[in-house]
Structure formats: C-alpha cells, structure tokens
Amino acid sequence: MLSKKTITALAALFLTASLQAFGLGDAASALSTVNAVTNTQTATPTAKSETKSSDLIGMLTSQLGVSDKQATGGVGSILSYAKDSLPSNKYTTLASAIPNSSSLLKMAPQASSAMGALGALGGNSSTGMAALASQFSSLGLNSSMITQFVPIIMNYFKGSNATGAMNILSSLFK
C-alpha cells in the first residue's frame, strides 16, 4: 500500500502535467468563447419538454466531429466537475436543464487514480479542472476540447431558455 506522502507526490506530479496541458490560457480562452456565445449567438428557442439530451449530444457530434460516446462522456465529465465544484442547489439547477443528466453523469469516465487520491486529500478547483482534463483524455479528447464543449452546452441552454443554467455554467468556467 502506498503511503500518504507517496500518493501526494504522485498526485502533485500528475496535477502539474495536467495543468500544463490545460493552462490558464485555455481557461481564459474558454471564458472568452463562453462570453462570445452568450453575447452574440442566437438560437431557435424550443420548449423544455421537447428538448432531449440527444439534442445536446447531436449538437456536439455534428459541430465537433466527436463520437456519441465522446459527447456523452464529455457532458457527463462536465456535469461531474460541476457536481464537485458547485453548491448542491446550483448543481441541481444546472443538471435539471439537461434531460437525462443522471444517465449522462454515469457516462463520465473515472478520473485517474492519482487525481482521485489528491481529491481525497482536499483538492481545490485546480484539482477539479485537472480531473476534468484527465476524464477528457480517457475519452480520447484533448483537454482543449473542454473549451469547445462549454460554448455548445451554453448555446443548448440558451435555446432551451435555461438562462439560470447558462449563468451557472458560465460562472463555473470563469
């Protein structure tokens, strides 16, 4: 069994590598893209009852060229990050804007064991972002794809008139 010191060292090493892959420039780019989507794009509103998670998955696959598995896993990973990062009432608002969010959450791959160990030791938002990057990596997606998923999810919320969820997601990636 690994000691706490060894786990911490391994987690720090993985975190450093993950943060280099998903740096502050990526986060700034994500925020810039999110702001551009919320300020300039218009979408055709649809009734919430007509919107399905498959609509969101379809938007991701068609606009990004990712597979259904990558799209569902990516959305699930973002939901997992949100669940770990937000107060429960805000997460509930966000998750309720995506039909079948609990199923999508289950589609999220596990973060690497080193990231899980670091989280158990009291990780922070950088740890959460590194875990999210790790989840995207296990889906065969570069961590920069996070910055491409978020604006499409925001556009989905906008088209569903889910402004509360859109604002919560925007604040999560500031």
pLDDT in tens, 107-121: 999 876 544 444 444
* Contact between 170 and 151 (Cβ < 8 Å): no
8: tokens are: 């911490």
Report the C-alpha gap between 46 and 48 in whole angstroms: 6
Q: Which residue ranges make up each domain of the chain?
A: 15-34+50-172
Q: Is-above-0.85 flag for pTM?
A: no
- Cα separations (Å) of 115 from 91, 102, 124, 130? 21, 22, 11, 8
- Are the beta carbons of 150 and 173 closer than 8 angstroms? yes
Residue 8 and residue 121 in contact, taking contact as beta carbons nearer than 8 Å: yes
Instruction: HSE, CB side, 13 Å, CA atoms: give it for residue 83.
Output: 16
Residues 20-64 pLDDT 10s = 444 444 443 443 443 443 343 334 443 443 345 689 999 999 999
Instruction: Taking each helix axis as running N to C, give the angle between helix 163-172 and helix 88-96, from 0 to 180 degrees, rounded to the nearest 10.
Output: 120
Q: Residue 112 carries which DSSP code?
A: P
Q: What average pLDDT does the chain have?
A: 74
Q: What string of DSSP letters covers 123-140?
A: --HHHHHHHHHHHHHHTT
Using CB atoms within 10 A of its CB, is residue 58 exposed (0-12), middle (13-18) or buried (19+)?
A: middle
User: Residue 112: CA atoms inside 13 Å, Cβ hemisphere, count?
Assistant: 21
pLDDT digits (tens, 9 = 90+) for 64-120: 999 999 999 999 999 999 999 999 999 999 999 999 999 999 999 987 654 444 444
